[in-house]
A = this chain, B = another copy of it.
Amino acid sequence: MPVQRADARRNYARLLAVAEQEIAAHGADASLEQIARLAGVGSATVRRHFPSRHALLEAVFRERIETLCAHARNLGGRADTRAALLEWLSAVTASAATIRGLAIALIRDCAADPAEAHEHCASAQLTEAGEPLVRRATDDGALTPGVTITDLIMLITGIALATEHHPDPATEADRLLALTVVGVSPRQR
């Protein structure tokens, strides 16, 4: 198969740039039509490059997801496994709460079209990257047994969604994450 044509690549890049702005401005259900208009292409071209809205979201957030995964890998060597996990969770929360549409993309692709790129979708990538941190923390006794990386990511995306309409999503999300980590009940002895 020959490589993509030059104009196709150009359009792809322009769409991605425009989409990022539009999603930041209007959330995960920004108008695809509007994105096409701003990028100066026909609406069919959008659908050609991104078959589904979800595909577009994944593409827009890919870099950020990869950064988070790299962050997790970097933390893999830390001696303090609990601190490492918490730092990463905090970073993920910050991204999910700050970048509009990311949280929705994360929950949606759990239940996206089945058998459709289910290996390297955003949430799967995060799960895979975070899993070692969770495992090490659990082995150290720094994490309640039974808590999975999936649980943690679900909690984070939930927090991000719930704080989306808050005046200051980032700090509120971080607060809620802290509560979740420590627990809502005080240490009883």
What per-residue 1/0 map shows which CB atoms of A128-150 lie under 8 Å from chain B?
00000000000001111101000
Q: Does A2 contact B (CB under 8 A)?
A: no
Q: Complex: how many Å from CA A151 to CA B155?
A: 14
How far is the CB of A21 from the nearest CB of chain B, in Å? 22
> What chain B residues lie within 8 Å of A183 (beta carbons)?
144, 180-185
Q: Does A179 contact B (CB under 8 A)?
A: yes
What per-residue 1/0 map shows which CB atoms of A59-91 lie under 8 Å from chain B?
000000000000000000000001000000000
Asked if A162 and B157 make an inter-chain contact with CB atoms under 8 angstroms apart, the answer reads: yes
Q: Complex: how many Å from CA A32 to CA B126?
A: 37
CB-based nearest B residue for A145: B186
What per-residue 1/0 map shows which CB atoms of A163-174 lie under 8 Å from chain B?
111100000100
Q: Does A161 contact B (CB under 8 A)?
A: yes
How far is the CB of A183 from the nearest CB of chain B, in Å? 2
How far is the CB of A163 from the nearest CB of chain B, in Å? 7
Q: Does A99 contact B (CB under 8 A)?
A: no
Asked if B162 and A176 make an inter-chain contact with CB atoms under 8 angstroms apart, the answer reads: no
How far is the CB of A89 from the nearest CB of chain B, in Å? 9
> What chain B residues lie within 8 Å of A154 (beta carbons)?
159, 162-163, 172, 176
> What chain B residues lie within 8 Å of A165 (beta carbons)?
107-108, 110-111
Q: Does A152 contact B (CB under 8 A)?
A: yes
Task: Mark A residues whose CB is within 8 Å of B.
Answer: 82, 107-108, 110-111, 141-145, 147, 151-152, 154-155, 157-166, 172, 175-176, 179-188
